[in-house]
Amino acid sequence: MTLDRSTLFINGEWAAPATDALIEVVSPHSEEVVARVPEGSVADIDAAVAAAREAFDHGPWPRMSPAERIGVLEVFSGLYAARMGEMADLITVSMGSPTSFANLAQAPAPWMQIEAFLAIAREFDWEAERPGALGAPVLVRREPVGVVAAIPPWNVPQFTIMSKLVPALLAGCTIVVKPAPETPLDGYLLAELLAEAGVPAGVVNIVAAGREVGEHLVRHPGVDKVAFTGSTAAGRRIASICGEQLKRVSLELGGKSAAIVLDDADLDKAMEGLKFTALMNSGQACVAQTRILASRRNYDRVVEALVEAVGGMQVGDPMDPATEIGPMVARRQQERVTDYIRIGQDEGARLVLGGDDRPVGLDHGWYVRPTVFADVDNGMRIAQEEIFGPVLSVIGYEDVDDAVRIANDSDYGLAGTVWTGDREAGLDVARRVRAGTYGVNTYTMDFAAPFGGFKASGIGREFGPEGLAQYTELKSVYLEATSS
């Protein structure tokens, strides 16, 4: 079966693109072209927004009851569940996510989001009457925000699409999704499933394109809200445009999260956890906890344990189920990561594992060896800037207060963990670290709870009732007082 595509999904149909420009999808493992798909143009975005605008202003979707929309999304959920393996493979082929991670998170987690949002929507207060302060009742309604522009990144494409698509649809919005050019293939399967589920024409439109076309989508006067996941630099640009237009915006951006290892932690358990929280998706994750904070008293033991744990991880072909670290998404990302490894050495950090040379036995593919730096000062660039690759920095602290100070000494505030034998001590640390999500002896994303960041890690929240509310506008309807 060829992975090539010749059309775009606009207004419920497979539409011919406005230009003959193509996106070449290149395997990060083989460095060979695995698919060619149309590259969306400004004209294609205009057509997609027009379809979404018509579907919102005059179509049935926003006028259905929440229960009716829930029914359609329940069908979609079943269809998605049946093809998760195929979805995982498309993502692995496109961006190199290890198949073990793809089948754990890249495809199942989006389906779990669908199910979680369905449960939330069934209990959501779409319309509620409350006593007014002036003696008459007030009806408070949640109405759809309108046409949504959803812009996901390449690292977890379905995960970040679903966090926007499902709450938008449940709220009654229509949507234009612009997948990243590195990962357009999974969007085609998504479109097929939505159409099969009975989502009306124009409600969902999917057009893969690059940054300039993405900015046109953000600026488009037919768009009411922008939902973006990606770099903080791009998020600042999007926020400025939306601010000029007073357009609703939610941003899930970068991170430089810290994992604090307290002296009473079970080191074996902590290192097994950190292999995932720090290096999930080959380190290409916004929540990756790449700053490892260890006390001066326990520093050498933590470094030794971390090197042993990370050094045993298998690097290689992402389609091999035994692979734990796959390639970087593109040559530019490989070069970015190896540049940071050299920067760390130039800054005076001590390289204790890995380095900037190619992993042994891999003569092609955009691979980087898992790398650990010791003797890192938190002011170094490798401790302050998001690298987005398998590079960890071990930073020493004097006491718990110092560890919290270092964890908070960052422009970001997305995630973090504390590893300890004392749950209450861990909760105390969790309450003091300024991050939107935090774990005590674990890290996960629970789709019933809000996800997002403090500071430069974003604006707004995804998941939970709070994530659904992001796609609604509040309306207060003042009612006449009734005689008793």
- Count of Cβ atoms closer than 10 Å to residue 211 Cβ: 14
**Residues 6 or more apart whose Cβ sits within 8 Å of residue 180:** 152, 153, 154, 157, 208
With CA atoms as reference, report the closest residue to 324 among 374, 295, 281. Answer: 281
With CA atoms as reference, report the closest residue to 217 among 199, 195, 242. Answer: 242
- CB 399, CB 377: distance < 8 Å: no
Q: CA separation (Å) from 172 to 18, 207, 447, 448, 459?
A: 29, 21, 20, 20, 22
Maximal C-alpha separation, the chain: 83
How far apart CA 150 and CA 388 sit, in angstroms, is 22
- Tokens encoding 345: 């050495």
252 is known as an active-site residue: yes
- CB 271, CB 262: distance < 8 Å: no
With CA atoms as reference, report the closest residue to 20 among 43, 50, 3, 46. Answer: 43
Q: Residue 127 belongs to what H/E stretch?
A: strand 127-131
- CB 144, CB 173: distance < 8 Å: yes
- Tokens encoding 484: 């008793």
Q: What is the CA radius of gyration of the chain?
A: 23
Report DSSP state, residue 40: P
Q: Residue 310 belongs to what H/E stretch?
A: helix 299-311
How far apart CA 449 and CA 205 sit, in angstroms, is 28
**Which of 39, 173, 242, 286 is labelled catalytic?**
286
Q: Are strands 225-229 and 472-478 parallel, antiparallel or unpaired?
A: unpaired
Which residue bears the tokens 């929540």?
Answer: 287
- CB 45, CB 8: distance < 8 Å: no
**Which of 39, 252, 324, 462 is labelled catalytic?**
252
Please name the residue ranges forming H helices in 246-298: 267-279
- Tokens encoding 313: 């991880």
242 is known as an active-site residue: no
**Residues 6 or more apart whose Cβ sits within 8 Å of residue 17:** 7, 8, 38, 39, 40, 41, 44
Catalytic positions are 252, 286
